[in-house]
Structure 1
Amino acid sequence: MLDLTGTTTLVTGASGGIGRGIALRFAEAGSAVAVHYHRDSASASAVVGRIEEDGGTAKAFAADLSDDGECRGLVAATMAWSGRLDTLVNNAGVQPVEPLPGMSADAWRAVLATNLTSAFSCTQAAAEVMTGGGSVVHIASIEAAHPAPGHAHYSSAKAALVMHARAAALEYGPRGLRVNSVSPGLIDRPGLGEDWPDGVGRWRAAAPLGRLGTPADVANACLFLASPLAAWITGQDLTVDGGVSTRPAW
């Protein structure tokens, strides 16, 4: 049921971190993967190389997703390369830290453009070519419901992204297109424990499963939502946080 052989998946922000994990997991399941990146061509090429070494099919595509035209161009380039698009994973995003008092409107707009508007544009473009149906997955965050200091723009964008998935599921459902979101908790990366030891410690203490998440944890959730196992699931947000959201705040 998780064999996606013969399909094509576009993963935005796939040059590193969570996006890299998603791209590798979909390739492992047999899907050809369009690996989107903005500036880091070397990392994107490394992801493509890894997929090809494992016998898969992938190609890297550059685009500035804050530009609607480039979002549409990315989808068009994917179609020109593969001839089809079955799954879109809107993973691209930024997470700057900036206190809300004194935050400039330009800083606010920049985060919303990258984290929210890019998903709107890519989804709209993808829906035009997914004439036989398909799956779109937004990578949101548990911060959509639990804001963190310095993340007002990020949390607001992720909350809107969850609602966009629900609205798109409603309007694109009659075309056979399913739209869902995945909300990860704290995902590990090299050096995170050294950069933020107190935060990582607090997370491990609060998480019922006692660990940080991995890109593979998020990728598996995306793969499930894109697979036939989720054929009757749309407009939903799947929380992937090791149970942290169950922890009482009092």
Structure 2
Amino acid sequence: MRDSALPDLTGRTALVTGASGLIGGGIAWRFARAGADVVVHYHRAERPALDLVERITEGGGGAIAVQADLTREAECARLVETAAVWRGGLDALVNNAGVQPVQPLEGMTADDWRALYEANTTSAFGCTQAVVPVLAERGGGTVTHIASIEGSAPAPGHAHYSAAKAALIMFARSAALEYGPLGIRVNSVSPGLIDRPGLADDWPEGVRRWTGAAPLKRLGSPEDIGNACVFLASDAAAWITGTDLVVDGGIGARPTW
């Protein structure tokens, strides 16, 4: 199961929220390939979560699927407790769960705004607060928020999403400041455009623009984001906290004038 190209996380346990989705599944898979036991969180999409667990276990890794509604603080606490009990502790949390609706700012309601923040930002807050005592008991650990390049460069129709991702980046920095003395490192990862089945057909112009502008001339993959998360959870990143790791194929280096 273990990929020797990745940092060795054998003996560690990671919780990945929203792991039934495309990016979350890629993150969980790369943790498993790094040797970690993985708790695969899902909200409604049980089948993909179970399929991922089966894929990991068939490859010789350790994984379980756990359901929770992370818009509820008590559910965040239950998820973390269940994950910690499974292997006797946790070493890494990746707050990946979230939604990405497209909605013009004109006509957006406060309820729309709150619903997105609950799913994308408050969920990360709840899981982080729940996991800190667990990590501290083991002498430290890591928390990684999945933000977005839209946290600093918004797109039309994503006002609430961009604002929520910007909040996650700053939450990571704030938590790094306050939880560092406990040995807990907190960072964020900001993906660029991640490929999915059918994306080139659904949005051909956007894919052409991206691949034409990005220095590395391709879209990202879920595994690219997983690799970044594994690195931040590893000893190779032992002096990295409070930072935002941008994983965008270099698109941010492109001049806009």
Above 0.5 in TM-score? yes
User: Is residue 196 of structure 2 the alignment partner of residue 189 of structure 1?
Assistant: yes
Name the amino acid aligned to 2:184. L
Structure 2 match to 1:75 = 80
Name the amino acid aligned to 1:169. A
Which whole-Å CA distance do the structure 2 matches of 1:27 and 1:195 have between them? 31
Partner SS for 1:130: helix
Partner SS for 2:164: helix
Which of 98, 101, 108 is equivalent to 2:103? 98
- TM-score after normalising by structure 1: 0.99
Which whole-Å CA distance do the structure 2 matches of 1:57 and 1:67 have between them? 27
Q: What stretches of structure 1 of length at least 5 have no aligned partner?
A: none
Structure 2 match to 1:164 = 171
By how many angstroms is 1:16 displaced? 2.3
Name the amino acid aligned to 2:82. A
Which of 18, 27, 46 is equivalent to 1:22? 27
Question: What do the CA deviations read for 1:92-111 (whole angstroms, capped 9, x no partner)?
Answer: 01000000011011110011
Structure 2 match to 1:31 = 36
Which whole-Å CA distance do the structure 2 matches of 1:14 and 1:220 have between them? 15
User: Is residue 117 of structure 2 the alignment partner of residue 129 of structure 1?
Assistant: no
Structure 1 match to 2:205 = 198
By how many angstroms is 1:149 displaced? 0.4
Which whole-Å CA distance do the structure 2 matches of 1:105 and 1:152 have between them? 12
Moved more, 123-132 or 158-167: 123-132
Name the amino acid aligned to 1:186. L
- TM-score after normalising by structure 2: 0.96
Structure 2 match to 1:219 = 226
Name the amino acid aligned to 1:187. I
Name the amino acid aligned to 2:247. V
Moved more, 123-132 or 170-179: 123-132
Q: What stretches of structure 2 of length at least 5 have no aligned partner?
A: 1-5
Name the amino acid aligned to 2:125. F
Which whole-Å CA distance do the structure 2 matches of 1:61 and 1:99 have between them? 34
Among all aligned residue pairs of Structure 1 and Structure 2, give the percentage whose two residues are the same amino acid: 66
Which of 162, 177, 180 is equivalent to 1:173? 180
Structure 2 match to 1:5 = 10
Q: How many residues are aligned here? A: 250
Name the amino acid aligned to 1:78. A
Structure 2 match to 1:116 = 121
